[in-house]
Amino acid sequence: AQTVTQSQPEMSVQEAETVTLSCTYDTSESDYYLFWYKQPPSRQMILVIRQEAYKQQNATENRFSVNFQKAAKSFSLKISDSQLGDAAMYFCAYHGSGNTGKLIFGQGTTLQVKP
């Protein structure tokens, strides 16, 4: 069974600085998808960025980028120029390529942004 591990329960960053959140996963599949979701205090789950495993190029969305290391099964999220609105819980999630529909989530990392 696939698993997703986020080893950092909490992280903090100074406003305007860069922070990296870690995620590792375990799977025997060769084709899959990885996501980072943001959950602010409002509880709403918001997709931040997605990565297809077959793509070697790391995904980027504005200030958010990933470092996808397929062999190491690592999928970290880098937030550049951190803003106060980035404070939230961040979840790494895995989705296999099969028609299962299942998203498997990590335990989450709470990010604090200090002014």
What is the nearest approach in angstroms of other proteins to the Cβ of residue 107? 5
In the bound state with other proteins, the residue whose beta carbon lies nearer, of 82 and 93, is 93
**Any idea which residue has 């120029």 for tokens?**
81
Helix (H) or strand (E) holding 105: strand 104-105
* 105-114: burial string, b at 16+ Cβ within 10 Å, e else: ebebbebebe
Cβ distance to other proteins smaller for residue 19 or 89:
89
Does residue 81 contact residue 63 with C-beta atoms inside 8 Å?
Answer: yes
List the beta bridge partners of residue 74.
24, 69
Q: Which is nearer to other proteins, 3 or 112 (CB)?
A: 3
Report in angstroms how near the CB of residue 47 gets to other proteins at its nearest: 5
Residue 25 Cβ vs other proteins, minimum distance, rounded to whole Å:
13
Residues that bind other proteins (CB under 8 A): 32-33, 35, 37, 42-47, 50, 52, 91, 95-108
- Nearest approach in angstroms of CB 70 to other proteins is 15
- Nearest-angstrom CA–CA distance, 11 and 96: 28
Nearer CB in complex with other proteins: 27/80:
27
